[in-house]
Chain A
Amino acid sequence: MTSISRKGILVLALLTVLALLAAPAVAQDMEESEFVFAHGGPIRTLDAPVTWFISTHWLANLLYDCLIWRTVDGSGYVGQAAESWENVDATTWRFNLRPGITFHNGEALDAAAVKWNIDRVRTREDFMVQPQWLDVAEVIVVDDVTVDIKTVAPTPYFEFIVSFNGCELLPPGYIEEVGEEQFARAPVGSGPYVLSEFSESDRYVFTAWDDYWGGRPDIDRVIYQVIPEQSAQVAALLAGQVDMVANVPSAEVPGLEMAEGIVLTSETAAVMQHLYLRVETETGNMDSTYPDYQPATLDANVRHAISAALDRDLLAEVHGSALPRTGRICPHFPEGGGDSFNSAEGVAAAYNPDRARELLAEAGYADGGPTVYLDSPTVGRAGSEKEVAEVVSVMLEEVGFNVELTVLDPSAYGEQISSGGNNRDIMMVSLGCSVPLVPLFYQCNWIQANYNVCNEDFDAVAQAILTEMDPAARLELWGQWWEYWFDTMQTVTLFESQAIIAYSDEFDFTPRKDGWYTFRENLKLAGDDM
């Protein structure tokens, strides 16, 4: 009897320990609001200008202010450290800082600090964002709260540059005192949140800063929790342990629709899926990889046939969360061509298999062929690349092409793209569709060696766009750009990816048009004014 009692006590003790262990995972102070975002990781250094990875800059935007920042709806810019700004002349931009603002450690965020930051980012060759800042010729401190930035040439899209990766303002005094290595361990900014704790590429806890110039943020704590597996992210949301999951796989949507307290929405991921077609063999190292190979896509008729053979509606359906497109720029930009390139009618008109066959016949392939090599990653920025590539192959074969499809692991594919010129005919590429970036992608001094889309005329128009300060004249140049775009058909756009976002109904959330998951004015507790 005594022995049984002892055993009973032991079992009871064990059960008690297990119950304590299994108690609610995270004790929460009910008075403090907390928002947890499931981040797919990895997250790089929060010495933000060092890294180019956008998903790290999502976090940086809570910790730091930039001079100005892109609006949620993508239509313009708002001041952060700068209260106002103006284009003084073709190559000078003046920024008037908010008087008296400081970094979290009390250090002044003045014109000298802005100069230190921009000089740092434009001169450090080990910084991944440095190339985009090479347009800056000089930064002049006018007075404590006024700074002029001179550009090497007229730069109409300078506001985009100055609000993009590397725009984060860091405290010069603190960095010089502790060094960059220590700064990476304990970064300090001037944004609405202080980084209160973090473990590298795992969990980052941001706490609202009382003294922020824009007022204390509505949410007390914003946490970025790295959860690499998408299924595990969704499970954590359903378990109430995270509050938002972005890029929900379409297979998970029905389950989330049935769950209580979950809001589902979708917004552009600001990424488009394209087929890059080889239009010349001079650049890159294709000749050494495939000596004497003559890509069929050198013939414009073949390129147009590829475009006409593709049913973009079906491809968007295969992707699961995408809108069919024929243009190159996200349609919410005025330069994006609007409905003419992206409407259902426009997209439907582009699909014409009979025309594709005619074009192939004109190119000398009436009896079948040509053979084209299509390379794709298993998955990339747009998602479902492999599946889309397989359907593209079928569509091309339907009109007479012989397709040799190669699907590679993303890192091997990245290697192939970046190491230069290994693609023979067609490669799947997902790229951003923001206006100021797109002309860059087609300049001959950029990475055309890898994508093989260099075209001198195209380059000239792109260069003119990037230096034309008059908005009306610039739109006209865009018209020329689009003509080249459709004439040369060196890039065939398939669709624009849409991110499916699931979040707790305890929050009001407006997704950003730039595909960034950074939370400032676009996130509130449900019921509060946005």
Chain B
Amino acid sequence: MQQFIATRIVQGIITLIIVSFLAFFLVRLKGDPVDITAPPTFNEDQKQRLRELWGFDKPLAEQYVIFITRAVTGDFGIAYLSKRPAMELVIERLGATWLLAGVASLIGLSVALPLGIISSLNRNSFFDLGSTMLASIGTAMPSFWLGLMMIIFFSVRLRLLPAFGALDPSAIIMPSLTMGVGMAAYLSRLTRSAMLEVLNEDYVRTAYSKGLITRTVVFRHAMKNALIPIMTVFGLQLGWLLGGSVVVESVFSWPGLGRLMIDSIGVRDNTVVQAALLFFSLSFITINIIIDILYAVIDPRIRFD
């Protein structure tokens, strides 16, 4: 097990190095940051001096070495536009993004699992058809549109919830619901199909024939086996929630990392974009390592050696 964890961590580090390489070079493909950042009153000489000040006059490979050497110590440089360390800005926003993704995941799971299980137990029933329809709507509905509709209903009409920001605990309700709906829709379908597959297994029939009640069969026997694919997809979805929260963060003005990254991309603030990208990747890799470890906890038959 320890060897497995060590291997996964090494793989994670390799992935991070690749991401750092991509983060560094891809942001430069978008063009010269000085051209975008400098005002129109800057002439070419002034722009060149700015390039020298920010180190863009050096060869790309040298710039990358400087970047990666500093990045391992957590120094991503000073954000061009806020004049604060990029790392500080990212950490400031990270909590809000994790909180939002966490609550959205909880909502997603708490809706998806019951829906999927009940649907699988009552295949082709009205409930099953109804949940299929809801899942289709949930998957097809753009989060941007859903968010705005929620604001209009809960904030404008009912005046119940704040339309923006993260000032009040209730402010998380709408953005997390918006994000959780898509996840719930997808996971509920996956739970249903995973459960259907397991429910046809011999050991489930055996459990029933022993006279166990449905609840015991489902939660003690079937669910454990169905959880593996669900957890795999949940891990990926959680990663998607961390990275894909950009739209929802913009609609609800949620002060998260996604919005910081979009703002920074718009003004070519490479220091912040690189730091944010690496943090997204780090979060994603960490989540997936945890999920891998949880496989063994859920199903002791899984051995990593």
Contact = CB atoms under 8 A, between A and B. Distances in A.
B2 interface: no
A44 B82 CA distance: 5
B253 A232 contact: yes
B35 A25 contact: no
Interface in B79-101: 81-85, 89, 92-93
A25 B265 CA distance: 31
B28 to A, nearest CB: 12
Contact of B255 (A130, A180, A202, A418): A202
Contacts of A488: none
B82 A25 contact: no
B73 interface: no
B148 A231 contact: yes
B30 A240 contact: no
A41 B171 CA distance: 20
Given A25-B168, A201-B260, A241-B164, A42 B253 contact: no
Interface in A414-450: 414-415, 418-419, 440, 445-447, 449-450
A219 B43 CA distance: 42
A258 interface: no
Contact of B38 (A128, A185, A446): A128
Contacts of A447: 40-43
A203 B162 CA distance: 14
A52 B47 CA distance: 14
B50 A235 contact: no
> Interface residues of B toward A: which range?
35 or more
A235 B171 contact: no
Contacts of A201: 82, 259-260, 263
Nearest to A180: B83
A200 B92 contact: yes
A23 B49 CA distance: 54
A289 to B, nearest CB: 14
A184 interface: yes
A418 B40 contact: yes
Contacts of A226: 253
A25 B266 contact: no
Contact of A235 (B43, B84, B152, B170): B152
A38 B156 CA distance: 16
A351 to B, nearest CB: 30
A239 interface: yes
B161 interface: yes
Interface string B54-88: 10000000000000000000000010011111000
A25 B251 contact: no
Contacts of B30: 411, 415
Nearest to A42: B263
Contacts of A50: 81, 83
A173 interface: no
A181 B78 contact: yes
Interface in A435-471: 440, 445-447, 449-450
A229 B171 CA distance: 17
A411 B266 CA distance: 7
Given A180-B83, A200-B92, A25 B170 contact: yes
A227 interface: yes
Contacts of B41: 52, 131-132, 440, 446-447
B113 interface: no
B103 to A, nearest CB: 12
Contacts of B161: 22, 25
A376 interface: no
Nearest to A44: B81
A126 interface: yes
Contacts of A242: 164
Given A202-B255, A232-B148, A232-B253, A125 B46 contact: yes
Contact of B43 (A128, A227, A236, A446): A446
Given A132-B41, A418-B36, A446-B41, A238 B156 contact: yes
B162 A25 contact: yes
A125 B49 contact: yes
Contacts of A132: 41
A364 interface: no
Given A51-B81, A200-B82, A229 B40 contact: no
A222 B190 CA distance: 49
Contacts of A180: 83
Contacts of B44: 449
B302 interface: no
A184 B83 contact: yes
Contacts of B298: none
A130 B43 CA distance: 11
Contacts of B213: none
A415 B155 contact: no
A185 B42 CA distance: 27
B32 interface: yes
Interface in A221-247: 225-229, 231-232, 235-236, 238-242
Nearest to B47: A418
Given A181-B84, A200-B82, A415-B31, A128 B162 contact: no
Given A42-B263, A45-B81, A203 B165 contact: yes
Interface in B142-162: 147-148, 151-152, 155-156, 159-162
B37 interface: yes
Contacts of A51: 81
Nearest to B36: A414
B234 interface: no
A419 B31 contact: yes
B82 A131 contact: no
A203 B163 contact: no
A3 interface: no
A23 B250 contact: no
B131 to A, nearest CB: 22
B35 A415 contact: yes
Nearest to B171: A25
A239 B174 CA distance: 15
Contacts of B260: 200-201
Interface string B23-35: 0000000111001
Interface in A18-36: 21-23, 25-26
Contact of B165 (A21, A23, A225, A238): A225
A239 B31 contact: no
A427 to B, nearest CB: 13
20 contacts: A22-B173, A42-B81, A50-B81, A52-B41, A125-B50, A131-B41, A131-B42, A184-B84, A200-B82, A201-B263, A202-B165, A229-B251, A232-B252, A414-B35, A415-B30, A418-B36, A418-B38, A446-B40, A446-B41, A447-B42
For the complex of A and B, 9 pairs with smallest distance between CB atoms? A25-B162, A42-B263, A52-B39, A239-B155, A21-B170, A202-B255, A236-B163, A44-B81, A418-B35
Interface of B: 30-32, 35-44, 46, 49-50, 53-54, 78, 81-85, 89, 92-93, 147-148, 151-152, 155-156, 159-165, 167-171, 173, 250-253, 255, 259-260, 263, 265-267
